[in-house]
Structures are given as C-alpha cells and as structure tokens.
Structure 1
Amino acid sequence: MSIQTNQTSRRQDWASFIVRAIVLSLFFLIPCQPVKALDERIVFDPYTGLSLGGYDPVAYFVSGAAVPGLADHEETYGDTYWHFATEGNAAAFRAAPAVYIPGFGGYALAAVARGVAQPGNPTLFAINRNRLYLFASEAERQSFLADPDAMIAAAAARWPDVLKLLAY
C-alpha cells in the first residue's frame, strides 16, 4: 500500500509541476506592451522640478485664468511638482490628474504642430474639448482659436517625432 501511495504522490507532484509550468509559461506568451504615460513628457523647470511655472492646472478650468499656485498646496505627479491655489484644486488634481495636465505635456501646441519641442507659456492658453493647451505667443493662440481641430491634428501627427527630440 505504501508503494502505491508513493507512486500516487509522485504522479500528483508531477501533475502539479506540469500545471505550474504551463501557467508560468502563459505569462511569457502575454504580449508585453510598454505603458504609455499621458503625453509621455511633461514640461518642467529643470532646477525646481516645477510644472507650469507654478501655475495651478485646475484653476484654468475652474477660474478660466492662469492662477499662480502655492507651495503650501503641492502635489507630485509624473516626476514633477505641481502647485495649486487651494487645497480643493489639489484634491481635484489628485483624483484625476489626466484631466488637468496640459495637452502634449505643456509644450507649445503650434510648435509641436511644426515638429518643434518648445515649452508653452502658462499664461497663454486655451481649453478645447476639456483639454488644456499652451502656446508660445498670442499669435499662435489666435491661430489655434480660428481652427483648433487642424492644429491639434497636426500636433498629434508630429508628436512622436517631437518626443524623439527630447533628451530626458
């Protein structure tokens, strides 16, 4: 009886090993996809790590204006620091950062559309379809307002090339 039990035990161990090996090998069959971060690069001050020059990203939507944030209401996201005018704005950002981060990482939209990586000016902005975009000049902003879909499409087409230009 003990020989039979030993053989049964060996079969169970072998079957268990086979099942584990199959399950483990399935993990290698799952295609690995790189995780694509929102816009992949965010403009920030290399000395302070501060995004948007310290302006509150939520205030653009709430106040319709570029409002300076305070260091008292600071959050970290995407390896950068974000300042907020109020704790409520900081809480809104914590809950849904993707909503408030500028399109194309805060690079000037018209520049990206031309294939150039130029940081946007946080005081020159527009919101289109619940997305914040920054510009390098008022003329670029006005051009965007005249035909936003065309500039966004051009920037989206050039964005992969612009990302290749960025060193970090």
Structure 2
Amino acid sequence: MFHSLKAGLGALALSLTVLATAVSADEITTYVDHGAAIGGTDPVAYFTEGKPVKGSDEFTATYDGVTWKFASAHNRDLFAADPAKYAPQYGGFCAFGASKGFKIPVIPEAWKIVDGKLYLNNSKAVQKRFEAETDEIIHDATLNWEIIKDKKPEDLKEPIIR
C-alpha cells in the first residue's frame, strides 16, 4: 500500500512541472492556468448549473490577486458579492494533492460540492478516491493548507504523511 501511495504521489509531484512556470506572488495561493484562476473555468457554474463551464474574457473579476472568468455577468456578480462562497477550496488546487502536502493542477471535470464548498481534483481517478474518502481527504487537506498555502508549488517536494 505504501509503495503504491508513494508511486501515486510521485506522479502527482511530476504534475508540478506544469505549474513551475513564472508563478507570481499573487498566484501562490490560487491555482492559475492560462492567465486565470482555475484555468478560466467559471466557479459559480458548478453551483448554478451543476457542471464546469468555461468562463469568458468578457466577464471577469479579481479575487485573491488573480483574474477569475465567468460565463455570464450574473455569475460574475454572484461571485463578486460573496467570493468565499464560490471559490474552490485550497485555492483551486487539487484537494487530494493538498491532503498529501502538494499543490497540484486540476481538471474542471474532477469536482464535487461538499457542504456547500467546491473541491477540485487532478483527474477522474483521483476524483474517485476523493469520493471514496471525502471526509479524510478534506480533513487532511484543510490541515495541510495552512502549511502549504503560501509556498510555491515547486517548493513542495515531500508529501506530508499523517
């Protein structure tokens, strides 16, 4: 079990190379890809449409020092009124990765809303594990987030084993 966990973490750590390109100070606590938080996916759409929806350059807001994109002015306004309600947990980084002490990129299709909070993950396989161990992963990720949130993804080399 430990060997497979270690191998899985190695694959997740390899994903950090995607993030290692010119991370600004504002982007340390929020996952940014293609110049926008969570890769330009509209975070409000997960709540209102029950699925990931690509945001538009026409509807943007700034939160946590980075640009967020939305599919509509309505979604942008909902977010602006209460960003903490709609922004994904752990800055939009992979919840499973955060549970192990890493900041890993996410894909829009690997997500779940738990107790009114949005959690994103790195892949469909990781999402299945998140769904099977939701409480434990959220618990560990929440504890680890306080340790890793202000660190650059590439500076997180070793997993935090609990």
Report the Cα offset of residue 119 of structure 1.
2.1
Gaps of 5+ in 2: 1-27, 156-162
Q: Which residue of the partner structure matches residue 147 of structure 1? A: 133
After superposition, what is the alpha-carbon deviation per residue over 1:11-48, rounded to whole angstroms, capped at 9, x for unaligned? xxxxxxxxxxxxxxxxxxxxxxxxxxxxx811113x62
Report the Cα offset of residue 140 of structure 1.
1.4
Report the Cα offset of residue 164 of structure 1.
5.3
After superposition, what is the alpha-carbon deviation per residue over 1:95-131, rounded to whole angstroms, capped at 9, x for unaligned? 1000011000011011111111112222211111111
What are the equivalent positions in structure 2 for 1:96-111 lying under 5 Å apart?
96-111=82-97
Q: Which residue of the partner structure matches residue 30 of structure 2? A: 42
Aligned counterparts of 1:165 and 1:76: Cα–Cα separation in 2: 21
Residue 53 (str. 1) matches residue 53 (str. 2): no
- TM-score, L = length of structure 1: 0.70
Q: Which amino acid aligns with 2:100?
A: R
Name the larger-Rg structure: 1
Question: What RMSD over aligned residues (CA atoms) do the two structures have, in Å?
Answer: 1.9
**Structure 1 stretches of at least 4 aligned residues deviating more than 4 Å after TM superposition:** none
Aligned counterparts of 1:57 and 1:140: Cα–Cα separation in 2: 20
Gaps of 5+ in 1: 1-39
The verdict on how the C-alpha distance between 1:165 and 1:79 changes in structure 2, with shifts beyond 3 A counting, is closer
After superposition, what is the alpha-carbon deviation per residue over 1:71-94, rounded to whole angstroms, capped at 9, x for unaligned? 111111111111111111111011
Q: Which residue of the partner structure matches residue 4 of structure 1? A: none
Aligned counterparts of 1:55 and 1:117: Cα–Cα separation in 2: 18
Out of 28, 51, 58, the residue aligned to residue 72 of structure 1 is: 58
**What percent identity do the matched residue pairs reach?**
32
Report the Cα offset of residue 153 of structure 1.
0.4
User: How many residues get paired?
Assistant: 127
Q: Which amino acid aligns with 2:44?
A: V
The answer as to whether partners of 2:29 and 2:150 remain within 8 angstroms in 1 is no
Query: Secondary structure at the residue paired with 1:41?
Result: coil
Out of 136, 139, 164, the residue aligned to residue 122 of structure 2 is: 136
Q: Which amino acid aligns with 2:96?
A: A
Aligned counterparts of 1:155 and 1:78: Cα–Cα separation in 2: 19
Query: Secondary structure at the residue paired with 2:59?
Result: strand
Which fold has the larger relative contact order, with Cα–Cα distance below 8 Å and residues 6 or more apart in sequence?
2
